[in-house]
Chain A
Amino acid sequence: MELILLPFIAAFITFMAKGKTAKLVAILSASFQLVLTAIMLFKFNAAGNTNFELNYPWIPQMGINFRIGFDGISMMLAILTNILSFLIIFSSNRDENDRAGLFYGLILLMQSALIGVFTSLNGFVFYLFWELALIPIYLICGIWGEGSNKIQITLKFFIYTFAGSLLMLASLIYLAAHANGSFDYEALFQAQLSDAESLLVALGFFIAFAIKMPVFPFHTWQPQTYTMAPAQGSMLLSGIMLKMGVYGVIRWMIPLVPKGVIQFQSTIIILAIIGIVYGAIIAIRQNDLKKIIAYSSFSHVGLIAAGAFVFSLQGIQGSMIQMFCHGINIVGLFFAIDIIEKRTGTRDIKELGGIVSSAPRFAILFMVVLLGSVAVPLTNGFIGEFLLLKAVFDYQAILALVAGLTVIFCAVYMLRIYQLAIFGEVKEKTTNFEDLNWMEFTTLGIIGILVLAIGVYPQWLLNLTEASVMNLIK
């Protein structure tokens, strides 16, 4: 509970603060949040049951309780949210002219809402936080975005995801109506639906989550939004927000309406796998760094989604750990791109080159994060990719072959970035490329350490969620 409340309150303090004070308040809040998370992790019991549960009656007539709680899955995503929020706030630099107070406040608000999403155990509360998370990111993209059509793109993103969410709400209400009018997580299991009904309900959930993740062909908002959003916005969107979609699938969609999901499971998995190859192939030829990362993220999430929909122990565990690692990697990548863009004023890889000569530290850390994305063994990306591909392989071997093409394509486009931007001859715009300052070094350094640490010893993360995942799939 504190985890939700703290950033929520801090957000409003930050709204009022100005300039440097705003960042200070935000960082204080985020670090305190990290400490709290650490304490909770220490007390956490990973046996699969719900920890730290809170249950207040809210609108009891409609079966709505304010009920939240942490199991392993929620805990892992809460950790991810808090680490990333901290890094995002820490790494950004907004001054007074830029309405810093509003900016940091919105990030904190977002953090609060995200943790709410990951912990709520009542359908209505889940929906509430789900929409609450949309508002800050909408404002962040709309106010601090770049490009002439930013409002248009932001609006499209907002309406698109919102339309999906409404379908989810409809599904939730339908379920609740068939579960004695209660939105409670366990109560929703009681709903008895016919095959056709559960198919519709599942589709409602699916569209909401598919847009959020996004799954092919619901993805077109993503590259545009990522490209237009400010760096921190892209980080929030790709690092944490798209995990809401996968989380929704794992926690709500499949357990609640398995009968409905099973009817189009293979279709979804095939769609997800089309997305993997499709996104990767597109990424190969793009020149805008952010666009490459956007499509690569789309491609990676396709694999996560495929693993989640296989719904085997390895599939879910794989998508859990891959969500965590993808979040870390993508934030690192966006941060690195932000650094490049700030220094050179361009994101076009054709205009970049030779950065390694003047900024070796940056080059090394960028390499580490990149390798994490390419899923080289002993970096964090490998564990998830291995488990996910294995899960898909167990489901249908030939699909794993297609999905496995990501192994090749990802290397192609990621190394292309590195080749053109970091290696090669120094170009006009990169001649005076400064190496990292301490703040950037710390941020990328933390990310780099996480990349390697999880890659070498992933077991603690796997242990955190294993029991909870077992509970879900039984």
Chain B
Amino acid sequence: MILLIILLPLIGFALNGIMGNKLPKSIVGIIGSGAVLGSFILTCILFNQVANTGAIEYSLFQWISIGNMQIEFSFLVDQLSVWMMTIITGIGFLIHVYSIGYMHDDEGFSRFFAYLNLFIFSMLLLVMGSNYLILFIGWEGVGLCSYLLIGFWYKNVAYGHAARKAFIMNRIGDLGLLLGIFLMFDTFGTIQYKEVFEFASSGSYSTERLTLITLLLFVGAMGKSAQIPLYTWLPDAMAGPTPVSALIHAATMVTAGIYLIVRSKVLYTLSPTTLDVVLYVGLATSLFAAFIGLRQNDIKKVLAYSTVSQLGLMFVALGVGAYSSGMFHVTTHAFFKALLFLGAGSVIHAMSGEQDIRKMGGLKGTLKITHITFLIGTLAIIGFPLFSGFFSKDEILAKVFEHSPILWAVALFSSFITGVYMLRMYFVTFWGSFRGTEDQKHHLHESPISMTFPLMVLAVLSLVGGIINLPHLMGHSVSEKLHHWLSQIKDVAVEHHAALSVDMELMLMGIAIVMVLCTLVACYIIYNKKENLPVEDYKQNSLASFIGNKFYVDELYHRIFVRPTEIASNLFYKIIDVSIIDGIVNGIGNIAVNVSKVIRFIQNGNIEFYFLAMVLAIVVILSRFIF
């Protein structure tokens, strides 16, 4: 059954990829979504099984075996994997359904579904593998699918650049991960999760080594989960079709880094230095991306930066050792961010491809379902009380407070900014008056059922998703279900339990609620009552345009890394390769040629000359004998 879960999307990929363009679109859609639905149903069954009997291992074959290095192609389905699998296949299925409507007029319809299925396959491989190398296969696989899907509209050169940027930045992270795997091999002699964790917790390895391993793994996570300094690909990745942004760049793939760390939490717990690094990188990313989000006007770019920021928050959770809180936020984030992206897609669909929120406005009248679901998503992400995001965010904040109140203040500030730009986007898009062209106004329409259905499902999930891990002050029987579920995994280092008093926790919660409500009111006034619209680029003051230009990080990277490489390339080729090395090689040849040019005059073709030379030579030789 485990095999079937993973093979179904692969079969879907093969079917759609090979003969997709000969089949009618409806069948392509059914194959694509059906494969994922099948996986989802099987995953649910498996979920039940894991709940009853614990982790399941399944070995397929010996993949690479050389001497004492044995790498199995095997799967491990434990509580963590099955949790991720449910998210992937569940949300994956909804997004497949959504894509049927969204991509309906696209000529690459079957190609799109083939890629999506390949993505689900790789992602499942990533979370189901029982060792780091299988994880690495999935890891690269999702990177590849991400590349293919970002550059899906291949005729656009800029999209192609974005796709390449994503793949290459991911590869930088991958190199770190790969080196981490090598070092792990070197240290433990195995990369099988179970054995690695057993050895590591035996305590016979130096902290420096573990720190180095975990740091290298974290480099991989930085690439995949778009953390500073490798985050710039994610906003550009919005070039892909919107369902892709929802599935890959919000709900699933970008959380692979978090999965990696939660999976290796034994190692991370043993190396506090790395945890600090994770914490600060996450916090910085969260704050930094939130600032940039404030000044973005592309509806998808805003969401992209909010994703980066939320991912940062998840890493903050991991950094303070609150692994299950991190996973909780992964889950709720998957719900509401997928919802927001799909909602944005629906808006873009209705606006005939327009993505600039300055040209929208007043859409709540025509796009009723989209509006309500989008509102739910926004409230969830800003942490409005009782929405799913409220619980997960609050839990993280509480954990951070335990760690250090100053960091808590920074994190809170970051989530305040999140509230501001999300509400700004919401109000500018859906309230006020319409600012687009007449054509667009006529064309405005609610999306088909295949698109609104996933929106509604996700809206419900965003609304009630919090119940999976209610704070423990709500009573033992209903609270912290996810935490208990995840802590069933064996070999897990003990996670310390909340030390905060109930009062304290309530107080923190109260602060957060008050802040959210204030933001809401303020934004309502600024962006709706006063119709305070984002101004055109050239009217911005210098700080705003500095932020609006994303702090010029892309330009900086271009200067520091891209240009020097290009210059080096030209230098190597033109000067070192062609001139110096080849010059030396040719020079050696030329020496021979030049010497022969001189000597050849001796051979003048005159027989008498030769003969004279011969006789003289004989005379000389003989005279040496005689005298």
Contacts and interface: CB of A to CB of B under 8 A. Distances in A.
CB atoms of A and B under 8 A apart anywhere in the complex? yes
A278 B580 CA distance: 14
Nearest to B151: A423
Interface of A is mostly: helix
B394 interface: no
Nearest to A462: B66
A459 interface: yes
B178 interface: yes
Nearest to A425: B155
A390 B185 contact: yes
A424 to B, nearest CB: 6
A178 interface: no
B106 interface: no
Interface string B571-589: 0110011100110011001
Nearest to A419: B160
B573 A314 contact: no
A284 interface: yes
Interface in A354-378: 354, 356-357, 360, 364, 371, 376-378
A346 interface: no
A160 B64 contact: no
A390 B136 CA distance: 15
A201 interface: no
B601 interface: no
Contact of A404 (B141, B178, B576, B582): B178
B63 A458 contact: yes
B437 interface: no
A407 B160 contact: no
B533 interface: no
Contacts of A354: 155
A283 to B, nearest CB: 8
B65 A423 contact: no
Contacts, number: 133
A313 interface: yes
A166 to B, nearest CB: 14
Interface in A135-163: 156, 159-160
A394 interface: yes
A168 interface: no
Contact of B581 (A217, A394, A415): A217
Interface in A386-400: 386-387, 389-390, 393-394, 397, 400
A36 to B, nearest CB: 29
B577 A282 contact: yes
Interface residues of A, number: 56
Contact of B64 (A285, A286, A376, A383): A383
Contacts of B140: 376-377, 382
Interface string B162-185: 011001100110110011001101
A465 to B, nearest CB: 10
Contacts of B581: 217, 219-220
B105 interface: no
A466 interface: yes
A42 to B, nearest CB: 22
A314 B66 contact: yes
Nearest to A423: B154
B157 A397 contact: no
A24 interface: no
A364 B148 CA distance: 12
Interface stretch (B29-37, B358-366, B562-570): B562-570
B137 interface: yes
B410 to A, nearest CB: 33
B128 to A, nearest CB: 14
8 contacts: A220-B585, A221-B585, A357-B155, A386-B64, A389-B178, A407-B174, A411-B167, A419-B164
Given A412-B164, A424-B157, 13 more contacts: A156-B586, A159-B589, A278-B576, A282-B572, A285-B569, A354-B155, A382-B140, A397-B179, A397-B186, A404-B175, A423-B155, A423-B160, A462-B64
Which 10 A-B pairs rank lowest in CB-CB distance, beginning with the nearest? A423-B154, A377-B137, A285-B569, A220-B582, A393-B182, A313-B67, A282-B573, A419-B160, A404-B175, A217-B581
